[in-house]
A and B are shown apart, each in its own frame.
Chain A
Amino acid sequence: MTKAVAARSARIGAARPGTARTGAGRPPRRAPALLRPARFDDLGLRRALSDRLLPSLVAAMAFLAALALAGTAGASALGRQWQEGAGSVLTVQVTEPAGAAADGGGTRLDRVLALLRGTPGIASARALDAGELEALLRPWLGTGAGRIALPLPAVVDVRLSDPALDAGRLAVRVEAAAPGTLLESHDRWMRRLAVLARSLQACAGLALAVVAFVAVAVVAVAVRAGLATRRGAIEIVHGLGATDGYIAGRFARRATLLAATGAGIGAVAAVPVLLGLAGLAAPFTGQAEDVGAAELVHALPLALWLSLPSLPAAAAAIGWITAQGTVRRWLRRLP
């Protein structure tokens, strides 16, 4: 029997089908089905890297990342909307509107309106009526703004069809047609809005980077804890001939699974919050105040809907890369 086992052990060295007979001439014992190596956990990582703590922490990170992504998308959309609105409007103030035009053809207001309406790139030019002017001045002069004796300029609301219209040249032309006329192009506001939108996007991007950094730290700490817990098992497997890649791969597989699961939970948990925020923002984005759930789904930017599913993938990548790096660096202490 001993010789047979030793000889068999000798034959094991050469790969061959498991059809050899045992030393006693009996057919080889059939291994019970329970011995199947599915999800074989030789390092005991299912307990060392708990399926509660790491996914919970990553879920919280993914939740914050979803909010940061929403901030990025929202700031981008608002900035675009503001720029489109402000960039397509000009305001022209014509002093002494009923006075004669410099070239003698009609009033100063008529001359400015004709010039504006004849300029390419301007969709419409309309002088505000007395009621609109009173409403405009009410915040400063109260309800009697329409009855005051002060001479008021005419205010012309100009809508552009070409946002790239050269407002400077136009200002010179209206000044020539009706000296003293002021043209406000809103350029300054546009620039401020653009800076504000970019700042909001940068803040959201920074928040996203911080969340990713914290996620890396969380995975690294969890993996280090797992290494400390399973040090004995790792040394045994290492002594049996396991490579660094094998051991790091085991940790990376586990960390990837847990991080992706946690991120999936966090991303799903963020959806109701994002829809709630979209509901609050609806009046400021040109939608009705009482919008239904279906409208809210469409209210969120498409880019945000596309980026939410990427959170589990990003978390999986963070888990895999961090675990690989952490374990390989730790293994260098072994010979």
Chain B
Amino acid sequence: MVRLDGVGLEFGQAGTTNRVLQAVSFSVAEGGFRWLLGPSGAGKTSLLRLLHLAVRPTEGRLTLLDQDIGAAARSRLPVLRRRIGMVFQDFRLLPHLSAFDNVALPLRLAGRPEGQVRVDAVELLSWVGLSRKLQSRPAELSGGEQQRVAIARAVVARPLLLLADEPTGNLDDLQAERLMQLLHEMNRLGTTVVVATHNAALVSRHPAHTLRLLDGRLVRDD
């Protein structure tokens, strides 16, 4: 499902390069669950961006959903991205769309029938407690509510790989626990899940395989 062999990532141009990941190697089997841990600036978000195909590795080999990403044609990547769900730390909701339209977007991009889009998006938003705010735009929602819209958008198309960057950062304990139950349940149904977090209490309540990054290097994989 996910395999990295000596993967590195650099930004910038010659002379001013910034190496954010170095020689990272690990694999996650289909249906696996990984906590991604490390201090701020360790490279967690960069690694998740790699796995979300927002950037390509500058060295090493990344295999995702049985595709060698380095060798894959650019035209092949959109299809792969539709099978990857991502919950961003900063939500990344479209500000001019309602909560409903934000959640419906992945289904519409996948070409699902509009009737199915409506039912599924409304149900996901109802589950995250936003049934009364379907028409609200992100600016009209609190940080926690925006986080819940982002979660609903990430899971609505049933991704094969679900990535989450600090998904509980803006949630209260009850919502955070509900989110973890959802992630575990999707994982149990076959979705591979990788969650980056600083929340040690959350990790201790939900023990699972962990990846620890430090200064762009993988220092622990157990």
CB atoms of A335 and B106 under 8 A apart: no
Cβ contacts under 8 Å, A22 to chain B: 123, 126
Interface residues of A in 13-37 (CB under 8 A from B): 13, 15-18, 20, 22, 28-29, 31-32, 34-35, 37
Stretch of A2-10, A77-85, A134-142, A293-301 contacting B (4+ beta carbons < 8 Å): A2-10
CB atoms of A1 and B122 under 8 A apart: no
Cβ contacts under 8 Å, A42 to chain B: 94, 97, 101, 105, 108
Tell yes or no: B217 within 8 A of A by CB.
no
Report the Cα distance A44→B107, complex, angstroms: 18
Binary interface encoding of chain B residues 100-112 relative to chain A, with 1 for a CB under 8 A from any of its CBs, else 0? 1100111111101
CB atoms of A240 and B119 under 8 A apart: no
CB atoms of A9 and B156 under 8 A apart: yes
Cβ contacts under 8 Å, B117 to chain A: 37
Interface residues of B, count at CB 8 A: 61
Tell yes or no: B221 within 8 A of A by CB.
no
Interface residues on A, range: 35 or more
Q: Which chain A residue lies CB-closest to B160?
A: A13
Binary interface encoding of chain A residues 176-210 relative to chain B, with 1 for a CB under 8 A from any of its CBs, else 0? 00000000000000000000000000000000000
Report the Cα distance A243→B110, complex, angstroms: 10
Tell which of B52, B53, B105, B123 touches A5, judged by Cβ atoms closer than 8 Å: B123
Stretch of A123-131, A218-226, A231-239, A274-282 contacting B (4+ beta carbons < 8 Å): A231-239
Cβ contacts under 8 Å, A240 to chain B: 81-82, 105-106, 109, 153
Cβ contacts under 8 Å, A239 to chain B: 52-54, 81, 86, 92
Known: A28-B123, A29-B122. A335 touches B101 (CB 8 A): no
Cβ contacts under 8 Å, B74 to chain A: 335
CB atoms of B101 and A241 under 8 A apart: no
Tell yes or no: A246 within 8 A of B by CB.
yes
Tell which of A1, A32, A41 touches B134, judged by Cβ atoms closer than 8 Å: A32
Interface residues of B in 122-176 (CB under 8 A from A): 122-124, 126-127, 131, 134-135, 153, 155-158
Interface residues of B in 183-203 (CB under 8 A from A): 185-186, 188-191
Cβ contacts under 8 Å, A20 to chain B: 119
Tell yes or no: A242 within 8 A of B by CB.
yes
Tell yes or no: B207 within 8 A of A by CB.
no
Known pairs A35-B104, A241-B106; list 20 more (Cβ under 8 Å): A6-B182, A9-B158, A16-B116, A18-B113, A18-B118, A29-B122, A31-B100, A31-B118, A42-B97, A42-B105, A44-B97, A233-B96, A236-B93, A236-B94, A239-B53, A240-B82, A241-B109, A243-B75, A335-B53, A335-B55
Residues of chain A touching chain B, judged by Cβ–Cβ distance below 8 Å, are 1-3, 5-13, 15-18, 20, 22, 28-29, 31-32, 34-35, 37, 40-42, 44, 47, 232-233, 236-244, 246, 335
What would be 22 A-B contacts, judged by CB atoms less than 8 Å apart?
A: A2-B181, A6-B185, A6-B188, A9-B155, A10-B190, A12-B158, A17-B115, A18-B120, A31-B100, A32-B135, A35-B98, A42-B101, A44-B96, A44-B97, A236-B94, A239-B92, A240-B106, A241-B78, A241-B82, A242-B78, A243-B75, A243-B78
Residues of chain B touching chain A, judged by Cβ–Cβ distance below 8 Å, are 52-56, 74-75, 77-79, 81-82, 86, 92-98, 100-101, 104-110, 112-124, 126-127, 131, 134-135, 153, 155-158, 178, 181-182, 185-186, 188-191
